[in-house]
Structure formats: structure tokens, C-alpha cells
């Protein structure tokens, strides 16, 4: 489809592959998209460090499908105001400072470093009690800034990379106008606050790296050393060239450790964000328009020689002929002739008739009132109480030089399709290495002996017995899933961003029958456990909920509010002296060369 064509993808929904339910090497697959922290910490195509996944670990927000100013989730984070220090106390502090300076030298207090030594001159900010180095700040700042500028290059943001970012304006979450330079800084501080808040509490609760995470860090950093060597540079010089002064090997090592530990605790913390059905329903009533969708059909009329006015007048001339979706489809060869000719010329279709059929199969869509990537006037019209089903109207999309003809095909409704959430621990039968090749069936699946199945069932019951000896909380089950489950993709050992065997918001038909039948049993209540068998092993099940999609979405929003309160409770202190040494994005010259920072 043409890149200008209206897209209705909801980026907050998980994308699930209906054709693949299980993955051969791990035994289990739930193919859901998990947002991740920026996965490329070296962005030259030669080396890549994998960062742990989570629901919000993004080094910059992913933009909407259409050019739009995207409101961010966080508040601006500046230095806090404190009461004045009493004169007597100040005098004591000065004496102590001078005494230490004589011993350690002023350099200790004033100079940043790439070794993550937290002398005062190297601490750009403090989150809670955790100091953040100039180099660490520079790492996050570079990732966030480059993400914005990369997407700006594709037209998602209105940023001119040849002009000062101090003079180019955008808006914050409250609609206030701020410069892009301030936006870069605010987002960096917010991102550091987010990760550090979880990291600090994780350490306080004794959360540690898993061995797999330790191994991944070692492998990644060793690869980084090799890449630097291949470029005839020291590893610190190589890193600082990409991320700015004072960002070195020790910085990236600490960053990876903090992210993994924060991620481990983040997943445990999510279990604490409990929401009742009554709270979900109340939230829905208060934010109904955000969770309702209206269906419609549409045609596109490109601008021609007469420009917007002529295209709009042309589009309106067809409105009286459109009473149904079928009426709209019949008009495609005439109304969309220019688009069809372009598609055929570009090879998207062999003939005009084929192209018209392709368009006809894709003219129906749905949209939420909160969609930011489409014409606001059109959205308001679709959701208006006085716009009856069957109404037809035309709207100008000046950004894409198109006019849309819209036919409203339904009233706004919430998505009440059924979804469920469960945790599970998969125990697959074990085979000896020498028998594994013989165990492959003709269809490529593994066949197990009766003895191997019996051993797997025994192991599953032993794990269930171990769970029954705990307080039998959801967290207890999640910890056992982390320890025992052979479905690594639903634990922190995988790359999906999932934890503790959790699959939530699952649509019907996504899992193997025995798994789903257990989850959909009408008698199920939160905390129910049991064992079911599939071709892939024994699943120890923990029931979380079975609900409507819109209520699940409301619960997700409420949990994010709780999470925001937790993150915001980590106080930020900006150290102005060290912050004068951090990286600041500069525009490129008109020939594309980077300006000196």
C-alpha cells in the first residue's frame, strides 16, 4: 500500500502470529511484540549489544505511524528546590571540603571520568541515592537524541537537523511549547529516573543478575572490545566517539547491569500493581472515548492540478452516490483512478482491475478517538452523536495531499472480545543426546518414550508440590517459573521481555487446545493451579483472569499510573556543575557533516 494511505495499526496492541504457536527449540511460542530498550548500543552495523526487554525501557519513544507531535508520558524533571543551608553548617562543609582538597586535589572534585568513579565532578545527577555519571547521562542522551533525529529523517517529527535545536519548538505532555533541545534533555532525565528507580529498589530487595544475564554481558562486552580493536582504537576511545566524552567501557558495563537488574525487579513489581474489576469499569466510564472504536470505510482522492480545493470539491461530488460499503467499492475505479495507475506503474498490481480489487478489499477500518495519526476533524465527525451510521463526508488531509471520503459504518463500541491471562511452567520430556536424532518424527517434532513422559510428569508434580509449600502467591509461582520453566521465552532467560511464565491479554485461539481449555474454564478463579498436558510437555498453570479486551486495556492503563507514581517517588537531584560537561546535540552543517559539540 502507498505510504500515504491511512493506517489503523494500534501500537499499544500486541501483534500475535496466528500461524505459529510453538517454537521448536524452546518448545513454546507466544509470538507477541514486546517493547524493548534500544537494542543497538553500537550503531555501526558491526556490533550489537542486546539490552533486556521491558514494557517501557525505550531510549526514545517510538513514533506514531503518521507525522504527529507525540505527547510524552513523563513530567519535566529539573533540579529540586531546597531550604537554604544554615551559615554555621555551611562553614563546616567548606572547612571539610578544603581539607579534602589538600589531600585529594581539586581535580578529584571537578573532573569527570570514563571509569565510573563517582567523585563529585563526575556526578551529573542523583536519582534517589544513586549517582549517575556524566558518561552514563551521555549514553542515554545520545540514544534518545539519535532516535528522534532518525525518525525525523523519515518525516515523523518536524526537526531540521541543520538548525539549532534551541530554536525549534515542540510540545510537552501538557501542551506547553518547549524547544527540542529541552525535550532531549527532559526525556534523558526521565529515562534515567525510570531505570534507576527500579534498579535502586531492586538492589534494596536483593535482586541480582541471573547467570544467563551475566554471560550475556560478558559476551557483549568482549565483542565490543574486538570491534574497537578492529577499528584500531582503544575501547574507551571507540565508545566515547559514539556516545560522548566520559562514556567508556565501565559505563556500558554498569548500564547493562543496571538495566538487567532493573528489568528483573520491574517484572516482580508489576505483580504488586493490583487492580479490581470495579476500578477497571470506573476507569472505562471516565475514559470511554479512549477505549471505544468506530468503524468506517474510506476512499482517497489525491490532489490534482487544482490543489486541495478542487480535490475536496471533486470528492464531495460523490457523497450523494454512497449509501453503503458496496456503493463505495463500485466507485473505486473512478475515484481512485490516479492511485490505481500509480500502483500499477510501480508494480504493486499487474492490472487496473486487480488493483481496484486490492483497494476494495482494504477500504474498511476502525479507529479510536485518541488516534493521533489521522485528521482530527474526521475523528470528531465519526464519534459525534449526531453523525448517524451510513453518513458520508469528505475531509482534507493537507499533510499528505489527499482528500478522504468517509462512510460511517458503526457506532463507537468498546472491544469486548474475550482475553485471558495465565502463568505457566513448561516441563518438557528430556531426551539423551544420543537418542535425540532417533526421536525426530517425520514431521520434525520430537517423539518421546513413555518413560520420558512419565519422568516429565513426575517433575511437574514435584514443582507443583514445591509451589504448594510457599505462600501460594502469584509472585511465588513466577519465581518458580523463572527457575524451572522450559519455556524460556516467557521468562527473563528469553528475549521477549516476559517474566515468570506470564502470558496476558491472550486472544482466543492463540494457544494449544489443552492450555486454552484450562484457562477458559468458567469456574476458574484467580490463583487456581493445575497441570495440563500438550504435545510439548506438561504445563503447570496459574490462573490470573478471563476478561473483556477493553477492561484488560483499562487495567493496563491503571497499572501504568501506579508505576508512574512509583517512578516519580525517586527524587531527582541535578548537579549543575557536572551537568555543564554533558553532551548537547548540535546541528549538522548543510552538507551533512556533524558540527563540533
CA pair distance 414, 554, nearest whole angstrom: 11
> pLDDT digit string (tens) for 526-551?
999 999 999 999 999 999 999 999 99
Q: What is the pLDDT of residue 584?
A: 96
Indicate the pLDDT class of residue 91, thresholds 50, 70 and 90: very low
The pLDDT, as a whole number, for residue 130 is 97
- The pLDDT of residue 436 is above 90: no
Q: What are the start-end ranges of the E strands in 402-536?
A: 402-408, 413-414, 418-427, 502-507, 529-534
User: 294 CB contacts (<8 Å, ≥6 apart)?
Assistant: 366, 367, 369, 382, 383, 408, 410, 411, 412, 413
Tell whether the model's pLDDT for residue 48 goes beyond 80. Answer: no
d(CA 180, CA 159): 8
pLDDT in tens, 141-171: 999 999 999 999 998 899 999 999 999 999 9
Q: Half-sphere exposure (CA, 13 Å, Cβ side) for 103? A: 6
Give the C-alpha separation, 517 to 544, whole Å. Answer: 14
CA angle, residues 91, 95, 97, in degrees to nearest 5: 115
Q: What is the mean pLDDT of the chain?
A: 82
What digits encode the pLDDT tens for the residues 232-275?
Answer: 999 999 999 999 999 999 999 999 999 999 988 998 899 999 99
The span from the first CA to the last CA of the chain, in angstroms, equals 41
| pLDDT higher than 70, residue 63 | no
C-beta neighbour count of 351 within 10 angstroms: 10
Task: Give the confidence band of 95 by pLDDT, cuts at 50, 70, 90.
Answer: very low
Q: Rounded CA gap, 278 and 259, in Å?
A: 34
Q: Are 363 and 322 in contact (CB under 8 A)?
A: no
Q: Are 9 and 65 in contact (CB under 8 A)?
A: yes
pTM of the model: 0.71
SS3 118: coil
Q: Parallel, antiparallel, or unpaired: how do β-strands 402-408 and 529-534 relate? A: unpaired
* Structure confidence at residue 592 as a pLDDT band (50, 70, 90): low
Q: Provide the grid cell at 571.
A: 527524587
- pLDDT, tens digit, for every residue of 275-321? 999 999 999 999 988 899 999 999 988 887 778 898 899 999 999 99
Sign of the four-CA dihedral 243, 244, 249, 255: negative
Amino acid at each position: 500500500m502507498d505510504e500515504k494511505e491511512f493506517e489503523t495499526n494500534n501500537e499499544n496492541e500486541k501483534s500475535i502470529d496466528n500461524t505459529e504457536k510453538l517454537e521448536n527449540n524452546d518448545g513454546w511460542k507466544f509470538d507477541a511484540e514486546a517493547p524493548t530498550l534500544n537494542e543497538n548500543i553500537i550503531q555501526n552495523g558491526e556490533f550489537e549489544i542486546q539490552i533486556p526487554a521491558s514494557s517501557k525501557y525505550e531510549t526514545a519513544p517510538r513514533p506514531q505511524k503518521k507525522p504527529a507531535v507525540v505527547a510524552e508520558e513523563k513530567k519535566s524533571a529539573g533540579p529540586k528546590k531546597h531550604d537554604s543551608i544554615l551559615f554555621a553548617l555551611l562553614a563546616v562543609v567548606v572547612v571539610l571540603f578544603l581539607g579534602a582538597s589538600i589531600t585529594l586535589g581539586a581535580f578529584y572534585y571537578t573532573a569527570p571520568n570514563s571509569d565510573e568513579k563517582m567523585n563529585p565532578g563526575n556526578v551529573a545527577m542523583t536519582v534517589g541515592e544513586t549517582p549517575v555519571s556524566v558518561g552514563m547521562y551521555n549514553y542515554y542522551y545520545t540514544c534518545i537524541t539519535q532516535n528522534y533525529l532518525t525518525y525525523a529523517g523519515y518525516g515523523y517529527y518536524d526537526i531540521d537537523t541543520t538548525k539549532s535545536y534551541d530554536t525549534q519548538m515542540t510540545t510537552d505532555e501538557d501542551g506547553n511549547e518547549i524547544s527540542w533541545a529541552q525535550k532531549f534533555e527532559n526525556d534523558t532525565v526521565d529515562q534515567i529516573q525510570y531505570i534507576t528507580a527500579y534498579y535502586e529498589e531492586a538492589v534494596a530487595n536483593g535482586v541480582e543478575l541471573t547467570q544467563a544475564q551475566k554471560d550475556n554481558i560478558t559476551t557483549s562486552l568482549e565483542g565490543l572490545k574486538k570491534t574497537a580493536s578492529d577499528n584500531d582504537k582503544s575501547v574507551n576511545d571507540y565508545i566515547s566517539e559514539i556516545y560522548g566524552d566520559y562514556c567508556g567501557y565501565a559505563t556500558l558495563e554498569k548500564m547493562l547491569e543496571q538495566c538487567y537488574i532493573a528489568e528483573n525487579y520491574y517484572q516482580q513489581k508489576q505483580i504488586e500493581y493490583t487492580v479490581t474489576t470495579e476500578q477497571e469499569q470506573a476507569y472505562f466510564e471516565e475514559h470511554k472515548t479512549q477505549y471505544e472504536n468506530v468503524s468506517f470505510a474510506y476512499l482517497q482522492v489525491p490532489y490534482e492540478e487544482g490543489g486541495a480545493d478542487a480535490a475536496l470539491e471533486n470528492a464531495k461530488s460523490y457523497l450523494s452516490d454512497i449509501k453503503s460499503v458496496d456503493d463505495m467499492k463500485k466507485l473505486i475505479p473512478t475515484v481512485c483512478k490516479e492511485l490505481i495507475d500509480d500502483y500499477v506503474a510501480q508494480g504493486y498490481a499487474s492490472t487496473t482491475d486487480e488493483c481496484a480489487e486490492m483497494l476494495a478489499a482494504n477500504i474498511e477500518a476502525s479507529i479510536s478517538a485518541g488516534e493521533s495519526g489521522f485528521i482530527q476533524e474526521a475523528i470528531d465527525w465519526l464519534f459525534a452523536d449526531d453523525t448517524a451510521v451510513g453518513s458520508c463526508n469528505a475531509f482534507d488531509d493537507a499533510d499528505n495531499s489527499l482528500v478522504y471520503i468517509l462512510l460511517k459504518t458503526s457506532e463507537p463500541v468498546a472491544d469486548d472480545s474475550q482475553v485471558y491471562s495465565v502463568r505457566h511452567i513448561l516441563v518438557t520430556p528430556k531426551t539423551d543426546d544420543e537418542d535425540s536424532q532417533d526421536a525426530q518424527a517425520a514431521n520434525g517434532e520430537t517423539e518421546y518414550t513413555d518413560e520420558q513422559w512419565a519422568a516429565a510428569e513426575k517433575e511437574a508434580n514435584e514443582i507443583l508440590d514445591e509451589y504448594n509449600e510457599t505462600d501460594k502467591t502469584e509472585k511465588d509461582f513466577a519465581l518458580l517459573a523463572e527457575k524451572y520453566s522450559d519455556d524460556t521465552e516467557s521468562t527473563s532467560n528469553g528475549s521477549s521481555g516476559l517474566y515468570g511464565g506470564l502470558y496476558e491479554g491472550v486472544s482466543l485461539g492463540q494457544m494449544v487446545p489443552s492450555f486454552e481449555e484450562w484457562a477458559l474454564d468458567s469456574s476458574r478463579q484467580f490463583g487456581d493451579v493445575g497441570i495440563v498436558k500438550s504435545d510439548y510437555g506438561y504445563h503447570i498453570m496459574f490462573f490470573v483472569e478471563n476478561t473483556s479486551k477493553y477492561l484488560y486495556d483499562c487495567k493496563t492503563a491503571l497499572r501504568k499510573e501506579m508505576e508512574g507514581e512509583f517512578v516519580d517517588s525517586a527524587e531527582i537531584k541535578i548537579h549543575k556543575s557536572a551537568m555543564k560537561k554533558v553532551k548537547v546535540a548540535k546541528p549538522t552543517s548543510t552538507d551533512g557533516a556533524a558540527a563540533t559539540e
